[in-house]
Chains A and B, each alone.
Chain A
Amino acid sequence: MSGFGNALSSSIGRKYVMGITGIFLILFLIVHAGINSLIFLDDNGLKFNIGAHFMATNWIIRAGEYVLFLGLLVHIYQALNLTIKNKKARPEGYAAYNGSANSKWYSRSMGLLGTLLLIFLVIHLKDFWVVSRFTGIPTVDANGNEDLYAVMRAKFQDPVRVAAYVLLMISLCYHLLHGFASAFQTMGWNHSKYNGIIKNVGVWYAIIISIVFALMPIAVYTHLIN
């Protein structure tokens, strides 16, 4: 058989799809965390709103948004697909299974962590993306930009939402802790000179990204900024 379809429907091809979309989402999170960090300038969200305005109006970013959603959907679809296949590969489970003896719990729980993140994403998109893209941001800031920062401040007055955001960032951290290095291994980028760097960068990436995101609702709620 020839063609790429055959390659992508194989076990390794599906891994590649997970790895490539995963790396793409990892890169997206850097951009997302970077722009959102503008709120920490504590300038009443002026710079942040400029960033948000750029992201909402620049046509390259707008096109990129479609690619992002596509990448996300493919990542989710392939994960579900692989999970079902993997369950079929062991129809009868063990009475005693000592997973912690040979692997990290979060590496075995990517599906659970991913599902939590999906739930988070639905809430998160409804909180901000739907507002900025569809229902409209009610106010403008001093520069005349739509005041997404005000929306953020309003949303993060709710302690339940703040707690949910922070808790789900823990699941993001663990998802990335495995996902980052795993994507490299899947792509075949395993090299004794670079393995240590990949592992360390992955750990720091997961921790920093999660903390930066978690600090946003905390900082707004506790009035650390503004």
Chain B
Amino acid sequence: MSTGNMNLTLKVWRQKNNNTKGALVDYKLSGISPDMSFLEMFDVLNEDLINKGEEPVVFDHDCREGICGMCSMFINGRPHGPKDLVTTCQLHMRSFKDGDTIVVEPWRAAAFPVVKDLTVDRSAFDRVIAAGGFISVNTGNAQDANSLPIPKMQADAAFEAAACIGCGACVATCKNASAMLFVSAKISQLALLPQGQPERYRRVQSMVAQMDAEGFGNCTNTGACEAECPKGISLENIARMNRDFASAKFLSEETI
């Protein structure tokens, strides 16, 4: 990695835990390379802090390849920063200018309590998935991969919904902290395929009930989630979830 020449002022949210109040703290960084990823820039900051005997900034990260959904920084008022269709780990410092001031905050939602600094607890998503994001599979030998014919468009739409990495950017950016884009993607990826049909109408009821129980807000169709989603999940999924939910509640006899 080349040594760089960018000088930056970071305003980073520091919060000890969910019971204490947090605040933005200013940090000056110099010699940042434009080739660094945003997280590598944070690694440099943390090295500095450790060398100075201060507590490093806690932030979530894992694969740093844009596919795991762990990184979760709200950068200058947008989840995953200024670029479309990238996660924080795939955001590079060349997307900023020398001398910039960058505000970095955690996802903010009642359903995502702050663990520490920039790390939030997103296990609410896990509980939504556990409520119904599964299919039933018979035991025995595995079936041949293409034994069930699926129209190409249908398979593509399911695949696109399945691209959701569950990072929570949709919740973070939504003015209502609604999780409908995430939940609808997880419902759609199964509802679109024949394997997902047996539980289809139970699933939508269970997962929506869990989403509500977790304290996420209510969608007002601003479209911010779709615009900020690093995986480009479509609002069409929310419409499909709404349709399935209505079918389940008003037409299906299956209740949860």
Contact = CB atoms under 8 A, between A and B. Distances in A.
Contacts of A190: 235-236, 238-240
Contacts of A144: none
A11 B221 contact: no
A108 B175 contact: yes
Interface string B218-252: 11111110011000000110111111111001100
A66 interface: no
B242 A188 contact: yes
B78 A90 contact: no
Given A82-B218, A89-B109, A96-B105, A189 B77 contact: no
A102 B224 contact: yes
A131 interface: no
B222 A108 contact: yes
Contacts of B13: 95
Contacts of A92: 108
B111 interface: yes
B218 A7 contact: no
A107 B222 contact: yes
A213 interface: no
Contacts of B173: 102
Given A102-B173, A107-B222, A186-B242, A88 B77 contact: no
A2 B208 contact: no
**Residue of A12, A182, A189 ringed by the most chain B CB atoms within 10 A:** A12
Contact of A182 (B11, B177, B221, B227): B221
A88 B239 contact: no
B108 A188 contact: no
Interface in A1-32: 1-2, 4, 6-7, 10-16
A10 B209 contact: yes
Q: Among the interface residues B74, B111, B243, B249, which one has the most CB atoms of the partner chain A within 10 A?
A: B249
Residue among B11, B177, B218, B219 having the largest count of chain A Cβ atoms under 10 Å: B218
Nearest to B243: A188
Interface in A87-120: 88-99, 101-104, 107-108, 110
B239 A4 contact: no
Interface in B93-129: 103, 105, 108-111
Contacts, number: 145
Contacts of A187: 242, 246
Interface string A69-100: 00000000000001001101111111111110
B249 A11 contact: no
Contacts of A103: 175, 222-224, 227
Contact of B218 (A85, A104, A108): A85
A96 B110 contact: no
B76 A96 contact: yes
Contact of A178 (B103, B177, B221): B221
B19 interface: no
Contacts of B89: none
A145 interface: no
A182 B223 CA distance: 10
Contacts of B224: 99, 102-103, 108
Interface in A108-154: 108, 110
Interface of B: 11, 13, 24, 74, 76-78, 82, 103, 105, 108-111, 173, 175-178, 180, 208-209, 211-212, 215-224, 227-228, 235-236, 238-246, 249-250, 255-256
26 contacts: A4-B249, A6-B249, A11-B211, A12-B241, A13-B245, A13-B249, A14-B218, A16-B242, A86-B218, A88-B217, A89-B110, A89-B215, A90-B217, A92-B108, A94-B105, A95-B105, A99-B224, A102-B173, A102-B227, A103-B222, A108-B220, A108-B222, A110-B220, A178-B221, A181-B221, A185-B239
